[in-house]
Structure 1
């Protein structure tokens, strides 16, 4: 009994010291914590409070009755989604477009970063970075305007050139065979510069002494690239890959919605465009909300699975 009392009395000073240490740390970095407040408030207001709206997915929502006055229907909205004849096509298009983005859009980022890292003329490197990074600031409306000016049926610069030299009519924007390729190509042009900057930051963090030691050992540029540079950016690549896999159910709503037209619906209509039509254009909120919950659950499962897989193959993952 005496031993227990001593242990308890001995724990109290330890807890007191820990509390004191926490307060001292807080006071020391109080301004940094203060800088965190706007970000925390932003996430609470715009990311956590709206989660209460997920209740709409389980109700037959009526604007006049409000959130709490609408009829509770349970999983009827989800059954309606899964039994819809459009659902298989929407899922197929969404997954295919997202997978194409992952397969073809990540490698150009890495390749551009590696090329820029090898350039020794600072002025030329800045010029290339400016040219490749510029499209990132353009909205998809402007990008589509540029694409339309080149490939408009019968009036675009490229389509007119093909017709004038006798190669026939070129149909790109309204041809279902080219639609997904057009999405991937325009996304590469727009986002490669921004992705390369992330990898350039990772390349800058590699210890230059490793390259010096490799040169002493007689390693050439290709050996240095394979044994030092690529392993140095592996963790960043895996991190971005996991994040992209988590958004595989999104497929880029803005770009797809702007490029979409009636003749390519069979290959271009995705979950987000369907949600927009049902929720905004047709004023049906419950079914699109249920689709949003479904997408979120799938994205969470994919992120957790990709993170565990990354750790098994030797990566660090997100957490």
Structure 2
């Protein structure tokens, strides 16, 4: 297998005064609804793990199996199934209500406990000497979806096992949407398998979601994400901020280690992006600039400028440099 850094191009730069201090390289692909590449940077056939950017693919069996309908899930449930949330009260409460609804509890989750990323809740829990639970895990919405699907099909409790019906359904959906035979898998931070594919395959899958009708499973997940940006990530997070800035015209989802996807409904385009050194700051910057290039983000919107031309300040508040998209994306 080719090393993922092979053929990567610079997509984001950090400048300090007149000096280029750091450069982040990666791959990015934009596909249309036919699966054809309309823009590419780096190597479209690079094989990588999409991490949490694949959550809308992992959520597809939840709808296709009939489980979502059987348990009367709404758009908030579907957005949470695709989320890497903050573990803020809004996320914890809604996932908790979902667990109650399906007759499950925190102990049924296979994801590990994770400290809330929400600053207020995190401090409050520390002061109260409360330990984080599995429901605080950023992937607990996805796992609530897994539990719902497992209950619907009458499968056992170890729903993250590779041969479990939940994961065989996820792999089938993943390969069908990407039109790639997965090169293998790694174990994600939440203990679920994460399947690898090409950058082209993921962009192709996202374009399929972009072109899907509103009532299709893909369209339902796309629309739920765009409708509830606060549930997909949370306050201060790039996914939420950029979806709000786009006014619902795009569904955006980050993944660990510098991965990002976007689903552009009106243009029927899908985007996949990977920063090879895993830097989130670079993936956020590059994705924002690509979405400006594709016409769904206003280049002068303050929320967009925070990523495409982000000012870097020192501890005394002095502007010392900036993070910006590389010339290749401009």
TM-score interval for Structure 1 and Structure 2 normalised by the shorter chain: under 0.3
TM-score with structure 1 setting the length: 0.25
Where is the strand percentage greater, Structure 1 or Structure 2?
2
The structure with the larger Rg is: 1
